[in-house]
Amino acid sequence: MSINPMDLTGRLILVTGASSGIGRATALLLSQLNARLILVARNRDRLEQTHSALEGTNHQVEPFDLTNLDAIPGWIKDLASRSGPLHGVVHGAGVYGVIPLRILTAPKLEEILRVNLSAAMLLAKGFRQKGCHADGGSLVLLSSVAGLRGHAGISAYTASKAALLGLARSLAMELAREGIRVNCVAPGLVATEMSAQVEEQTPGEIAGVENAHPLGAGRPRDVANGIAFLLSDAARWITGTTLTIDGGYTAH
């Protein structure tokens, strides 16, 4: 009998940012690995589109605005009371913007940090609550190679993604006693709606970045594969680390 160490049968996993891009690809893959999913984003219609493409049954659509930070722990408590304890949380939601320092405003900085970083911290707080996590829980944060390499014009975004790397290390130490593993994935350039928007804002920029990836631009499924691995028992002895998935971008 063959054994799939990444099988997620019986697992309940919450995915933020599930309405598009890497979040949607992750949800699709996790359903194929037999997980039961809670899909989270602000737009119900787009979540329903993801939901309709999932394999399996008993998945949930839960629209929620992650900028409402104080409400996150209580919301997760409510989800767990209705659906059972979570086996995993994937924070795939994020805000990106090409904003040179000379035009950066405090409100825009706050928006980026609130969704990319602060929401991650409050999701972790909610996940660790009694009754909210199952044994062997796994939290996966979507960082970026921007947190590893400097890029002009995206300092606010870079700061938020670099902070996630440190956050994962500290949370891994703090939550080990709860049986929760915490890791990051750091993708390089991935062909998503977000990268298409960047190309519209700064024509030619994406082509230059893609040329710096020896294996070219990635696909959302490439990153989803890494996320699924970190959620699974195949990664049961991995915590506090960052899995870089970048087609060789940071190798030179």
3-state per-residue secondary structure call for the chain? CCCCCCCCCCCEEEEECCCCHHHHHHHHHHHHCCCEEEEECCCHHHHHHHHHHCCCCCCEECCCCCCCHHHHHHHHHHHHHHHCCEEEEEECCCCCCCCCHHHCCHHHHHHHHHHHHHHHHHHHHHHHCCCCEEEEEEEEEECCHHHCCCCCCCHHHHHHHHHHHHHHHHHHHHHHHHCCEEEEEEECCECCHHHHHHHHHCCCHHHHHHHCCCCCCECHHHHHHHHHHHHCHHHCCCCCCEEEECCCHHHC
Q: How confident is the model at residue 140 (pLDDT cuts 50, 70, 90)?
A: very high
What is the extent of the structural domain holding 115? 12-246
Looking at the annotation, which residues are catalytic?
157
Q: How many domains does the chain have?
A: 1
Find the CATH number of the domain harbouring 86: 3.40.50.720
Residue 192 in any domain: the answer is yes
> Within a domain: residue 6?
no
In this prediction the pTM is 0.94
Q: What is the mean pLDDT of the chain?
A: 94
The predicted-structure confidence for 58-79, as pLDDT tens digits, reads as follows 999 999 999 999 999 999 999 9
The answer to whether residue 131 is domain-embedded is: yes
